[in-house]
Amino acid sequence: MSELIILHNPRCSKSRQTLQLLQDKGYTPEVIEYLKTPIDKMQIANIIELLGFSSARQLMRKGEDAYKEQKLAKEENETALIQAMINTPKLIERPIVLANGKAAIGRPPESVLDIL
């Protein structure tokens, strides 16, 4: 198998459950705490493509206060949406698992097993 990475937020229960599921299945993913080690524009664009999303908005946590405060619901520019995720990483949906040239969001955690 190629590299296995989880973009992880240890304060998020779904992220913790997804990491535990991977470990229980015998996998040892590289854990990137994306709030401490932010991902860049190219990485976000790649994740959006790997997920098959048509818009950066699909990768965003629309319930976050920062989403509302930054008035992102009205933003149509994809570059601006990606920049908002760079500036405010907690806007990025979590957890994201990358493996075998694919990506999956761990909501529910079991959904990441499809890419392994």
Residues involved in catalysis: 12
Radius of gyration of the chain (CA): 14
- Spell out the residues 6+ positions from residue 70 whose beta carbon is closer than 8 angstroms to its own: 84, 88
User: What is the number of other CB atoms lying within 10 angstroms of the CB of residue 27?
Assistant: 17
Helix (H) or strand (E) holding 54: none
